[in-house]
Structure 1
Amino acid sequence: MASAAITHQTAPAAAGLQTFSSDGDRKRLTGAAVKAVLRLVDAWGGSNAEGAALLGVSESTWDRIKAGKWDGTLSQDQLTRASALIGVFKGLHLLFADAMADRWPRLPNRAPVFGAKSPVEAMIEGGIPRMLETRQYIDALRGGL
Structure 2
Amino acid sequence: MKGRSMNVIEAKATDRKDLTGPALRTFFRIAEAWGLKEQEQMRLLGLDSRSTYQSWKRGAIAALPKDALERISYVMGIYKGLHILLPKTADEWVRKPNKARVFGGASALDRMMSGNVADLYVVRQYVDGQRG
Out of 52, 68, 91, the residue aligned to residue 61 of structure 1 is 52
- Tell me the equivalent position of 1:26: 16
Q: Is residue 2:36 matched to residue 1:46?
A: yes
User: Which has more helix, going by share of residues?
Assistant: 1
SS in 1 for 2:75: helix
- Tell me the equivalent position of 1:4: none
Where relative contact order (Cα < 8 A, 6+ residues apart) is larger, the structure is 2
Amino acid of the structure 1 residue aligned with 2:50: E
Amino acid of the structure 2 residue aligned with 1:81: R
Amino acid of the structure 2 residue aligned with 1:94: I
**What's the CA shift string for 1:89-121, capped at 9, x where partnerless?**
0000011124x1000011111212122221112
- Tell me the equivalent position of 1:105: 94
Give, in angstroms, the shift of residue 71 of structure 1.
2.5
Moved more, 102-111 or 52-61: 52-61
Alignment TM-score, normalising by the size of structure 2:
0.86
Greater Rg over alpha carbons, structure: 1
SS in 2 for 1:19: helix
Q: What are the ranges of 5 or more consecutive residues in structure 1 without an aligned counterpart?
A: 1-15
Amino acid of the structure 2 residue aligned with 1:119: A
Q: Is residue 2:119 matched to residue 1:124?
A: no
User: What is the CA RMSD across the aligned residues, in angstroms?
Assistant: 1.7
Contact 2:97 2:107 in 1 (8 A): yes
**What's the CA shift string for 1:37-77, capped at 9, x where partnerless?**
101111001000000110112322223333x2523321111
Moved over 3 A (4+): none
Aligned length: 126
Alignment TM-score, normalising by the size of structure 1:
0.79
C-alpha separation in 1, matches of 2:18 and 2:81: 24
**What's the CA shift string for 1:5-61, capped at 9, x where partnerless?**
xxxxxxxxxxx7443351112111111110111011110010000001101123222
- Tell me the equivalent position of 1:6: none
C-alpha separation in 2, matches of 1:84 and 1:36: 12
